[in-house]
A = this chain, B = another copy of it.
């Protein structure tokens, strides 16, 4: 499936519906064209390759799944692979969506296998705002990348909120069930996001530095702005990574502390009761000649020995600082 927009100068964008219209628009001077492929058929892939005279390498990269952002500069076009974060995934299963971009002097081709929020947003702007597309294909690309960066920031901020939630739970009296699992899922998403953002940031760095002749000089600052957003996102992720690690370590420390307190209770109970049981057990022996079985108030006598043992034990435990 493909759809295309064309605009002449600063006018409003026209939807192109046939290949002939597309070819005509591309051939017209001062016309900016944006063609967007979504799950294209082999015929459409050939259309893309022929229209922009793509290198076989770029075609192959478009068709294959590329999990790694990349930038290839050719004489007559710039080829980019970027990734956006997939909307609505569960924590621990963060996925990215690949977007292939071909940028020429007067045209932008976007190519993707999945729905992509940033493309949808910018397409809406391009169709509704006069003159938006007319500012050139590079600026349209910048708008897409900026929308993507905003979604990354949103994702990082939701990771930040969840980390704070986990902190609250960590110190709650009753740790919630599945705490470790949620921390682990958090850690996994942070690691995956950090990996993809690191490469994407590098790519934006090159676009903003003015390395690519398809990016006009006046757009360097806006591209650098996207770079700044991604930079901020990676720094936040690094801080989150550190805090998540601290969550795991502190959790271990807290569990060890609780086990220690459980052990103290057990030891205190056993240390008091076992010696007392030995005393009662002593007088439970069936020896006929056992001393003292005939004394007047055996209860008081045994209670007195209980008290002596208990005082000794309490003294002993207090010396260890437990009571």
Q: Which residues of A contact B (CB under 8 A)?
A: 55, 57, 67-68, 70, 72, 167, 170-171, 173-174, 180-181, 183-184, 187-188, 191-192, 194-195, 198-199, 221-222, 224-225, 228, 231-232, 235-236, 238-239, 242-243, 246, 248-267, 269-271, 273-278, 280-299, 302, 320-322
Residue contact B295 to A289, C-beta cutoff 8 Å: yes
Residue contact A291 to B283, C-beta cutoff 8 Å: no
A252 proximity list for chain B (CB < 8 A): 249, 252-253, 256
What separation, in Å, do the CA atoms of A323 and B302 have in the docked complex? 29
Residue contact A68 to B285, C-beta cutoff 8 Å: no
A276 proximity list for chain B (CB < 8 A): 278
Q: How far is the CB of A125 from chain B (nearest CB, A)?
A: 16
Q: List 21 A-B contacts (CB under 8 A).
A: A55-B221, A68-B235, A171-B180, A171-B181, A180-B254, A188-B243, A194-B239, A195-B236, A259-B260, A265-B271, A266-B266, A266-B271, A269-B270, A273-B274, A273-B275, A277-B277, A280-B281, A286-B290, A287-B292, A287-B302, A288-B293
- Given A239-B192, A260-B262: A287 and B277 within 8 A (CB)? no
Q: How far is the CB of A176 from chain B (nearest CB, A)?
A: 12
Q: How far is the CB of A291 from chain B (nearest CB, A)?
A: 5
A196 and chain B: residue at smallest CB distance: B235
Residue contact B269 to A70, C-beta cutoff 8 Å: no
Which of B173, B224, B284, B285 meets A321, CB within 8 Å?
B173
Residue contact A221 to B270, C-beta cutoff 8 Å: no
What separation, in Å, do the CA atoms of A299 and B288 have in the docked complex? 11
A67 and chain B: residue at smallest CB distance: B232
Which of B199, B269, B283, B297 meets A267, CB within 8 Å?
B269
A167 proximity list for chain B (CB < 8 A): 184, 188
What separation, in Å, do the CA atoms of A257 and B259 have in the docked complex? 9
If A192-B239, A263-B266, A277-B277 are given as contacts, then 9 extra A-B residue pairs at C-beta distance below 8 Å, sorted by A number, are A67-B236, A70-B228, A173-B321, A180-B254, A252-B256, A273-B277, A274-B274, A274-B277, A277-B281
A231 proximity list for chain B (CB < 8 A): 68
